[in-house]
Amino acid sequence: MNQKYSSVLALELAIYQVHEDGYEPTEKIVEFWKKYDINTIQNTINTVLKHAPAYRKSGNIVQLCHKQIFAVDLMRLLIAYFHIHTDRIDISQLDISDAATTQSSLDQLEITKRIHEFFGGIID
């Protein structure tokens, strides 16, 4: 496979993986935190931003700012999840159902579920 597209495929497969029998999100969280520390995550995000072709070649300052803002938001999210797990914070009462992005995310997961089931039916 072309190296250029392998990272895109890996991201797509991560999305479809949630529909596999036995998928356990808590296992993914534990695996992540066993694999990465906060400093490594920060350094990796910085490296990805600095070496992304669109980052270096783009003259679009809005696009560059969006990528940096997203990277910072992602870093904040990961640190928050880390604290939730290490401090044993109960998040069962969190409700994001009214967030504008929730329905869009649920719709996207439903689409990937149908695609996963379709290809799963072909393979079986």
Contact 85, 33 (CB under 8 A): yes
Phi first, then psi: give them for residue 51, nearest 5 degrees.
-105, 0
Query: 40 is written with which tokens?
Result: 């490594």
Kindly tell me the number of DSSP H helices and DSSP E strands found in the chain. Answer: 6, 0
Give the pLDDT of residue 42.
Answer: 93
Half-sphere exposure for 71 (CA within 13 Å, toward CB): 18
Give the pLDDT of residue 68.
Answer: 85
Contact 1, 9 (CB under 8 A): yes
CA dihedral for 77, 81, 82, 88, sign (positive or negative) = positive
Per DSSP, the residues of 49-64 read HHH-HHHHH---HHHH
Q: What is the pLDDT along the chain (124 residues), one digit of tens a residue?
A: 566 666 678 888 888 888 999 999 889 988 999 999 999 999 999 888 887 665 556 566 677 788 888 999 999 999 999 999 899 999 888 888 888 899 999 999 999 999 888 887 666 5
Query: 46 is written with which tokens?
Result: 């910085």
Is the overall model pTM greater than 0.75, yes or no? no
Give the pLDDT of residue 121.
Answer: 65
Separation CA 36–CA 82 (nearest Å)? 11
For the stretch 38-74, pLDDT in tens is 999 999 998 888 876 655 565 666 777 888 889 999 9
